[in-house]
Each structure stands twice: as C-alpha cells, then as structure tokens.
Structure 1
Amino acid sequence: MAVGNVAVPTTIYAIDGIKLSATAAGVRYKDRDDLVVIEIADSAATAVVTTRNTFCAAPVRVLREHFAKMSPRYLVTNTGNANAGTGADGKRRATDICSALADKAGVDTNAVLPFSTGVIGEPLNSEAVIAGLDAALAGLAADSWLAAANGIRTTDTIPKLASQKINIGDISYHVTGISKGSGMIRPNMATMLGYVATDANVAPDLLQEMLIAINEQSFNRITVDGDTSTNDCCVLIATGKASSQVIDSPEHPHYSLLFNALTEVFVRLAQLIVRDGEGATKFITVKVTSGKTTQECCDVAYAVAHSPLVKTAFFASDANWGRILAAVGYAGIEDLDTEQVDVSLDEVMICQNGGVAMGYTEAAGNKVMSRPEITIHIDLARGEASDTVYTCDLSYDYVKINADYRS
C-alpha cells in the first residue's frame, strides 16, 4: 500500500494541444491497459531528459535519435516489457512501432518517441503493440490523463497524477502530469516515466533548461532502492495554446510563477513514486542543511537514503540512530567536523554535537519512528547550502515483490 496522501486530484486540467489514450494491447498483462499514446499539437515545444544508465534500453536510444531530428508529435508507451538488454533486435522493434504509428497518424517516423517499461532482457512483443495502435489513436481524448496514468503502471499500486492552474493577469496557465515507478528507483533518474504538459508558450531552449533544473529537484531527488534503471525518461511539453506571449527568458514576468507551478507538479509526481515504493510503509524526507555545497548535502542525503541498515531500521520503527551517523560518516566529506553535527527525527533531536542529545530518550525516538511520514534533519554546521532527498523504508514485501516479479 502507498504511504500517506496519494489521492488523485479532484480536478484534472485538460491541456489544450494534448490528447491521450490508454488501451489493452496484451504486451504482458491480459486484463488491463498497457499501451498509452499521447498526441502533441504541432505548435508545441518539447523537452526530454533520459536515464544516465550506459546500458540504456532500445527505446531510449531510438528516442534520442528521433528527438535530435525534430519535435515530437506522438509519444507511445508500452508497459510490461522494458525492451532493454535486447540488442539490435530491440532497437528494430522500437523503430517498427514508431514507423507503424507514424504511418497511421500521417507524420514522420522521427516525430514519434517510444517508451517502454517492465521486465528487462525479454524480447518485446512489438506485434501486439502495433496491433493496438488503431484503438489507441481512435481513443485519443483531452480528458484521458487518469486513464493514461493507469496505463503506464507496472508494479505501481496507484496512478500518479498532479494538476494545477495558475492565473497571471488575464491569462490562465494549466499544468498536468503523470508518472510511474515504484522500484528500481534511484537518482539519475529511475525506473520511472514522467509526462508533464502545460498550455504556456515557452521557447524550446528555455523549456529544456527548465526541465533540467526542475528534474534535479524532483525526479533526481528520489530513491527507493538505489538502482538506476535502463529506461527512465521524462518529458515536458509546452503547447503554447494559452497565450501568444512567448516566455523566452527567466526575466520574463511570467517565468517564475510558471517555473514554481511546474516544480510543484514535478515534486508531487516524484514523491508519489516514493510513497508507492515497492513494499514501502514509511515516507522519509532526508533534509541536509548547513553544508558547504549543494553537492555535499546531496552526498550525505543519498548516503543515508540508500543505506539498507537505515531503511530497515525505519521499517522496524527502531530508533537505531547510530546507523544514520554511520551513513553520514561514509558520505565522503573528509574534513567534516563530526562534533558539530546535529541530527533530528521530526521534532526530536537525537544527536547533538556528534553525540547523544541532552534529554533524548529511546521512547521518544521510537515514537517518532512509528510514524508513517518522518523527516531526518541533518545539520552539518559548516556552511549555507542545503538539499533534500525523498526515500522510503525497506520491508519484507520489497523482497517478495522483486523475487516474484517475472512470475
């Protein structure tokens, strides 16, 4: 079960210039939608970031080639099979899917971007995907965001969706996005797919810069199990339908409000992935402050968030806070003065000046650890930088889910 507030928003804003569909192609699942197509208006600007895993999947390689040539008109996603570790055959199958969709939609093959998620190392049933394209194209609709969020799920237990509206003068901008992912999640990105769209009019180069910056504070600040996937991709689309006024620089009067709205949607989608982490029972925020640089804050946060000993202690609601200190110590900050470090769990200070905090009790620590949502605050006392990473605990069910995943 997902942790905390994971409700689908009561209002899901359609984005003018975006249509979506979800259909059952039978790629792996026999009783649910597993093929999603997104149609993008030809006026739109699109930005993309992809996994940093060198052994990236065939669709990621094809996507990069196509995106370098032209702006996309269609995104096609299959679930159940990652089409990764499939060599030249996998790339051919990904290209065949793009070509088939392009023929049916009357666009250039390079205008189609493929995405896959699921089991690694098995040939993709591209014939099933292609056979499902007619139904997918026929079902395209502006209000199908929730259907698409369900259609891109694998081991996810919930659809992941965020949507909001901002008013700037007489212009209303809308932002809506979906994501998927619950295991093989680690920064750089994760086994995650994210699709976010706005009807704002943003210059393409600036949109790419915005996506990179926002991704660093959202999808690149989550970790479930420390594994970087072969398939992660995130797409940001600006259709330009809300206004003819082009946002072309950070100095534009609409830039900051739009950037903040996009960031809120991205962070929500990223947090939903962690809240739905495989087998998760706790949602954990690791906040590191007073570091010399953002990078060292991230290094400390990731060391704590990736530690199996820390994560299993949280699952057990055991305030074994020495495990947190150990992770801080091996994060790689060689000149860290450990006698200045403070650590708190929510409002309870457990470590002060490198040792047990005055007045701390095991009962107080265990009480905090029993909460479903907990913040670890680590104060390094050496500068002005800070950063935050989101993670979850490591439970018995994580092992069960991943041991049985292919069965």
Structure 2
Amino acid sequence: MNVTMKQVEGGVCAAAGFSANGLNCGLNPDRNKNDLALIWSEKECTAAAVYTTNKVKGAPILVTKKHLAATGNKARAVIVNSKNANTCNADGEEKAQMMCDLAAAELGIKADEVIVASTGVIGQKLPIEPIRDHVQELARGLSPQNHGKAANAIMTTDTYAKETAVSFTLDGKTCTVGGMAKGSGMIHPNMATTLNFVTTDVAISSEMIQKALSEIVKVTYNCLSIDGDTSTNDMVSILANGMAENTPVTAEGEDYDTFRQALYQVLMTLTKMLAKDGEGASKMLECTCSGAPDQDTAIIIAKSVIRSPLFKCAMFGEDANWGRILCAIGYADAEFDINKVDVDLASSKGTIAVCRNAAGVDFSEEKAKEILEEDEIYINIDLHQGEASAKAWGCDLTYDYVKINGDYRS
C-alpha cells in the first residue's frame, strides 16, 4: 500500500511528547564532541528492541533486556554514552545499572523504565564519575530542540550526525516516527548494526511494535554491511507514547501496514546514511536483487555482493569489474539458476549493462568509469526467476578504512 509520508525535522524529538539532550561529560577529551545523551517521553511508552547477534554482548544490552522484561516492554527514557562500549568488563552491568539509576533519579521514574546503551572502545572500564557529575545538567537541558545534541553525542568515527523523521495520517490523526543513528565501522549483518533510537507518538501494542520492528530490521539494518564485523553493542530500540491519540494498533490490518511503512521509511533512510558514512568511505553502494523466487533469496544475494571485499575495492577504484559481482552472487547461500542472471551498474550519470545471462556484454569502459565516479552507486541484479526483490547497502573499501582502524583506541 502507498501512504503519503512527509519528511519533517526533529529526529527523535519530532514525535509529540519527546525531548532530548546531549553534552560532553568528559569521556571524550575533545570538548567539542558530545559523549552523553538522554531521550525522554512525557508519557509511558510501549517499547521494543532488537539486539546484536554477537555472543559477546555489551553490559548495557544485558541491562536493557532485564528492564524491558521487568516492565512488560514499557519505558520512559534512554541514556547512552559514546567513547566507551562498557563491554567485557567485570563491573559492566553494575555501571550500566548505575547509569539508569542516575537518569531515573533526575527524571523521577523507576530505573527499570530506562533503556541504556554504550558505544566505543571494548574492554576498557567505564568511569561512572563523569556521567554522575553531568546527568543533572543533561536532564535539565532536555528539550525538543536538542535532538541534534543527542544525535551528536552517540557519534564515534561518524563524520556527521544521522537523523530523520516522517509524519503521516493514521486513523485520522497526524502521527510521526523519528529516529537517530550512529555507526561507521564494525557494521555487519545480522542484527543489529550500530546504535539506533526511534520514537513515535503512535498508540500501538507491544506485540505489534515488536513485530513491526523485527520485520523492518530484516530488510533494512540487517541488509547493511560496512566491514564484515558485527559489533558487541548493536541495538535498535523504539518508544511509542501514544500521544497522537489514534485508536491503538493491536492487530494486523490497514493501520498496522501504515505504521509499518512509516517505520520502514525511517529505518531505510538511516540505513542509507550509515552506509554512506562507512569508515573511510567515498561511495554509498546500494544493491537491488529482483526477479527472485522469494525475498530471502533476494536478501541473501544482495547482501553477498555488498559484503564482498573485492567488489568494494573495485568500486573504490571506479573499476567496472563485474566479474566480482558474479563471483559474490555465485557463492551466496541460496538456490537459483545463475545462468539467467543480468547485472547493470547505475548512478546519477546513467545505467550500463555489464552482464546478461551470466555472461559479459560489450560496454564502454569510458561510460562505466563516468558512472562509477559518482558517490552513490547502484548495482541492479535481475535473476528472472520470480517476483521477489530486496536491497542491501554498504560502501566502498578505501585506504582510509585501514588508517582509521589502525589507531582506533587513540
């Protein structure tokens, strides 16, 4: 179904009833960079989350899981820090809980109504003192206008803050979904990838919001790969406070589909922002696999191409080496007839066919070079074996990626 979506400003504060703030508490020695953020809802929210599949999980994830289980998937606030992942530390859960306790005391709520997250270096103890000393200032500065400060506070190697929001009509009410994300490296399927915080004023049950989030994550964040490393702290959470006053969405149907489409728009936009800002990246890559027998096959193939280091290097070199695409399609763990596969390369400079029926076709290397000089490249694969399709996102692999990760701890 097609629903009219309007892009709006405000990120995680675009929806009614949400405020945020961010500041530098001293975890990051660069005082021009925020490192602590808070998101707050005027009313209790239905909450949902999806977490990293890494067996090593950051302490904040373990604490957040406990809190949502204790409250029946309800929450009022999110506190998050950057620069330190609070992972693989003996006192990690204690520190994560202390962050929640500190935020709850300032907000006048219970500690288990707080979602907590951290990002940064793994294996270094998190000093709680800077957070303790600045949480009052953080809470007192909560404002719908401070969404940008919060988005800045979760950045690590990101080169810019990532925010988006859309408004739409549901049950005759104007509703909004907004979000912010961070992530530049250690990004690889499957979920989650990066840190992502989403808010909405839609009234929706915990079952339906979890269902929508899990479904949309599968075709957005789970189809994003920067470098093949799945982080320990990855999480996407969503808070829904119901302040739009629509009839609560409690089952599948038209209203659920409308909300789901809005959530897809927000998460897809953030996914593309994350792909474009991959560590050292010079190009955003979007691979579309169509004509697949089913969606899972399309997802597997699109992700296989996006993950290929050889292909990513070719895109950095602006080399139309389409054989690397066929190679990545060929080792994808799915059943299909490779001999029917077509491949095109495209950008704002045009489209060029490079492969038909799994064989090369004559094309202009000059035209291909012109197409690949752009900073957004589209790889279009048609299997000609069904009606399903899917997209995956990533970036090229550059010299700067190695430089960034060679001295990450410094």
Other structure's SS at 1:302 match: helix
Unmatched tracts of structure 1, length 5 or more = 1-8
Letter in 1 for 2:133: A
Letter in 2 for 1:366: K
Of residues 194-203 and 95-104 in structure 1, the stretch that sits farther from structure 2 once superposed is 95-104
Give the C-alpha shift of residue 342 in structure 1: 1.0
In the superposition, relative to structure 1, how do residues 73 and 10 fare at CA in structure 2: closer, same or farther (>3 Å)? closer
Counterparts of 1:367-386 in structure 2 under 5 Å?
A: 367-386=370-389
Q: Does 1:395 align with 2:398?
A: yes
Instruction: Tell me the equivalent position of 2:4.
Output: none
In the superposition, relative to structure 1, how do residues 10 and 242 fare at CA in structure 2: closer, same or farther (>3 Å)? closer
d(CA) in 2 for partners of 1:205, 1:156: 33
Is the CA contact (8 Å cut-off) linking 1:183 and 1:191 kept in structure 2? no
Is the CA contact (8 Å cut-off) linking 2:171 and 2:255 kept in structure 1? no
Instruction: Tell me the equivalent position of 1:45.
Output: 46
d(CA) in 2 for partners of 1:10, 1:175: 10
Instruction: Tell me the equivalent position of 1:19.
Output: 19
In the superposition, relative to structure 1, how do residues 389 and 200 fare at CA in structure 2: closer, same or farther (>3 Å)? same
Is the CA contact (8 Å cut-off) linking 1:274 and 1:283 kept in structure 2? yes
Q: Does 1:406 align with 2:409?
A: yes
Instruction: Tell me the equivalent position of 2:352.
Output: 348
Give the C-alpha shift of residue 191 in structure 1: 4.9
Instruction: Tell me the equivalent position of 1:296.
Output: 297
In the superposition, relative to structure 1, how do residues 10 and 42 fare at CA in structure 2: closer, same or farther (>3 Å)? closer
Give the C-alpha shift of residue 373 in structure 1: 1.2
Of residues 388-397 and 192-201 in structure 1, the stretch that sits farther from structure 2 once superposed is 192-201
Instruction: Tell me the equivalent position of 1:177.
Output: 179
Of residues 372-381 and 309-318 in structure 1, the stretch that sits farther from structure 2 once superposed is 372-381
- Paired-residue identity, %: 36
Give the C-alpha shift of residue 219 in structure 1: 1.4
d(CA) in 2 for partners of 1:196, 1:98: 19
Letter in 2 for 1:350: V
Letter in 2 for 1:405: Y
d(CA) in 1 for partners of 2:166, 2:258: 12
Counterparts of 1:55-134 in structure 2 under 5 Å?
A: 55-70=56-71, 71-86=74-89, 88-134=90-136
Give the C-alpha shift of residue 388 in structure 1: 0.7
Is the CA contact (8 Å cut-off) linking 2:44 and 2:75 kept in structure 1? no
Is the CA contact (8 Å cut-off) linking 1:26 and 1:34 kept in structure 2? yes
Aligned residues: 395
Is the CA contact (8 Å cut-off) linking 1:279 and 1:396 kept in structure 2? yes
Instruction: Tell me the equivalent position of 2:322.
Output: 321
d(CA) in 2 for partners of 1:62, 1:338: 46
Q: Does 1:209 align with 2:207?
A: no
In the superposition, relative to structure 1, how do residues 351 and 173 fare at CA in structure 2: closer, same or farther (>3 Å)? same
Instruction: Tell me the equivalent position of 1:277.
Output: 278
d(CA) in 2 for partners of 1:381, 1:232: 35
Q: TM-score, normalised by structure 2?
A: 0.92
d(CA) in 1 for partners of 2:75, 2:258: 26
Deviations 1:208-245 (A, max 9, x none): 11111121122112111111110011111111111152
Q: Does 1:312 align with 2:316?
A: no
